[in-house]
Amino acid sequence: MKKIFPAFIYGLISTFLFSCIDEPEPSFIDDEEDVIKYIADNNLNAVKSDLGIYYVELDGGLGTTPNDSSVVDASFSLSLLDGKLIDTVTNFVFTPNLTPNAEINELRTIGQLYGIMESKLGGKNYVIMPSKLAFGTSSGTIGNTFIEANSILTSVIQINAIRTKEDQKGYEDQMILDYVEENNLDAQLISNEGLYKVLLEEGDTTAKPIFGLNVTVGYEGIVLQTGEKFDESESAVFTFSDESLIKGFYDGIATMKKGEKAIFIMPSHLAYGATGPSQGSTIPPYGTLIFRVTLLDV
């Protein structure tokens, strides 16, 4: 995985808050009968999927379900069987076949992933997942909620959009254009791959970065979708190379002169792509990024 610069370590920031307790691991329990009893006791018209979850259609939707390579925009909750809410996520965008273990950012369980695959565009499903499709024999805390080992969990899932990867590129480009307009930025498209530049201050020399040599930059990185800052440095020194930098960052700095200040806005395919940089990063899958950059030295 390419990095902004070699010293940048995403593992220092974790959004995956489920932590196991240091105790002997409990034995696995086959709790499917408990799931079936819960469904019967609550008069739910639930269907069992081939993947092992049970779900109730709360809203039928438009009939289209995601496939493994779709770009899916989903909102979902996670709750204990007694209804206590654990977590709620809105507009999480991802591709199912790139999350085989469902352990990526906000998508916490394989049962939620399976539930998304059974949900229709515009529809809403109530999903009941046996513990083996949730956290299994692990126990721990998410937020302020303790989850016991072998807990049956539920999720309400809504599919907001299903896009192809090409559609996603167009969607992100429009999102960038909307951001530029809303913030009255004088942005110029500087590559046919969708990289935009806003010149804030001209450089004071003609010196430009040279491939393979060190550059010094001050920068701030923000996720456009959330407005969340994921990294910053007042004076980062690194080798100017397309092998160590994400493409949008490299291409942007290549246009700068020493002393110049600029904003670069890049779609996810010029950043960390369909998966994000790593589990636990604040940059989501298909994260569109904004960098405020000052080229201090070359």
Q: Output the CA–CA distances (angstroms, integers) from residue 10 to 4, 7, 224, 282, in the order listed.
A: 11, 10, 18, 8
The third-level CATH classification (topology) of the domain covering 31-162 is: Chitinase A; domain 3 (3.10.50)
> SS3 of 224, please?
coil
* Tens-digit pLDDT profile for residues 283-294: 989 999 999 999
Q: Output the CA–CA distances (angstroms, integers) from residue 99 to 123, 209, 240, 276, in the order listed.
A: 22, 37, 32, 11
- What lies within 8 Å, CB to CB, of 115 at 6+ separation is 53, 55, 76, 125, 127, 129, 155, 157
pTM for this model (two decimals): 0.82
The domain defined by 165-297 carries CATH number 3.90.1150.10: no
**Tokens 């609550």 sit on residue:** 42
Distance of CA 279 to the CA centre of its chain: 9
Q: What is the pLDDT of residue 279?
A: 63
Q: Which two tokens stand for residue 185?
A: 């930025």
CA distance 157 to 263: 36
Using pLDDT thresholds of 50, 70 and 90, give the confidence band for residue 96: confident
Q: What is the pLDDT of residue 41?
A: 97
Q: Is the pLDDT of residue 295 over 90?
A: yes
CA distance 107 to 235: 35
- What is the residue type of 178? D
Structural domain spans, the chain: 31-162, 165-297
Distance of CA 244 to the CA centre of its chain: 22
- What is the residue type of 284? P
Are the folds of 31-162 and 165-297 the same?
yes
Q: Is the pLDDT of residue 8 over 70?
A: no
Q: Output the CA–CA distances (angstroms, integers) from residue 153 to 42, 46, 134, in the order listed.
A: 15, 15, 7
CA distance 218 to 14: 24
* Tens-digit pLDDT profile for residues 119-153: 999 999 999 999 999 999 999 998 899 999 999 99
Q: Check: CB of residue 293 under 8 Å from CB of residue 218.
A: yes
Weakest-pLDDT range from 8-17, 41-50, 243-252, 265-274: 8-17
